[in-house]
Structure 1
Amino acid sequence: MSDQDFANTSDPLGSPKAGLSSDLDNLAAYVSSLTKTPPSPYRDAGGVLTSEGLAGRAVFESRRCGFCHSGSSFTDGKRHDVGTVKPSSGLGIGQPLAGVGFDTPTLKGVWNTAPYLHDGQASTLEDVLNSDEHIIGDALSAAEMGQLVAYLLQIDDREAAPAAVPVPSSSPWDLIVLASIFAAAITGIRMRSNRLKTIPTSWERPN
């Protein structure tokens, strides 16, 4: 590829480089051929989910993980902000990443792709799931954590695609924020109510 061709196609979202370099064309063809996920070694000998994996699938469904990780590739192909954006994360398509987030990664073969998150800040799946922004609802119990991790480690091409999960909000994390605000409001009302109970009424004479 000539320097001029490289300069003309330097924008990742601009003109394609296809046909300008045989090496790049061959590399692109090879990467495009990588469509299969290696079988997970965490499954039973017969290639089926373990009992822990089956329990983890139920946790996956009940916690609405399919809101982001759905379809045959276990990803909705969208971008989500799950609280991992840092000043050092840079920009995405020339725009700040806060509130936009990163592309949802596939869960296929996740047993072999540590460390996790866009900058590798999570060494284990437990580290990912311990993030408040990554779980809808209450924190996972120790049993749920173990089961969900067991399931994630067993996801490969043999696992059926999870259905997309509709959430009545722009994102599940909006629901968490709204729930927190509502809880704070209720707490404030109760505190004010308790204070009012201690105020003597007009027909009561304080001691």
Structure 2
Amino acid sequence: MKNLVFLLLIAAAHHPLIFSQNFETMWQKCIGGSQEERPSDILAVEGGYFIVGGTYSYDGDISFNQGSSDAWVIKIDSIGNILWENTYGGSNGEFWRRILPAPDNCYYLLGASGSWDGDISYDPYPGSNDLWIAKIDSVGNLIWEKIIGGWMIDMIESAALAGDGGVVVFGWTGSQDGEVTVNYGMYDMWLVKL
């Protein structure tokens, strides 16, 4: 019996289906400007991809920057050509950490903002960084945005779609006020259901 199991394991390990995928470079692109660009998420969509992150650049592939760093969305086709790009933010630093599909051919953008001007409509607790969520349409137009957090740093690490159509955000917080109901000291893990 041991020999049969051993032979089956060897046969499975050498089966051509297991080794049939050759990951060779089909294309590559460099996207950005003269300063730093930091991508953080990619979402495959029909005809291409959305890439989100942040940029410090004012030139190159970046059409506009409102301040220190801006949250950045790039839509590329299936071979990496830029179809459109847009920056979002204010006079301080912003970035997008995640992009998730939303109803109506729209997308949720989740990140952080340190601004209270520009695209940020209202920050009731303008502390360090706050959680920033926005919804854009399929060509990057801002539909709405919202700041969540308190006076201290509130950061996103990841997010997922909830079964009811909402979004669950996972991150950490140093705040003890605003939308943060309790903090056990220093920085705590923070879950937010939107």
Q: Normalization by structure 1: what TM-score?
A: 0.26
Structure scoring higher RCO (CA < 8 A, sep ≥ 6) equals 1
User: If each structure's helix is expressed as a fraction of its own residues, which one has the higher value?
Assistant: 1
Q: Judging by fraction of residues, say which structure has more strand.
A: 2
TM-score, scaled to structure 2? 0.27
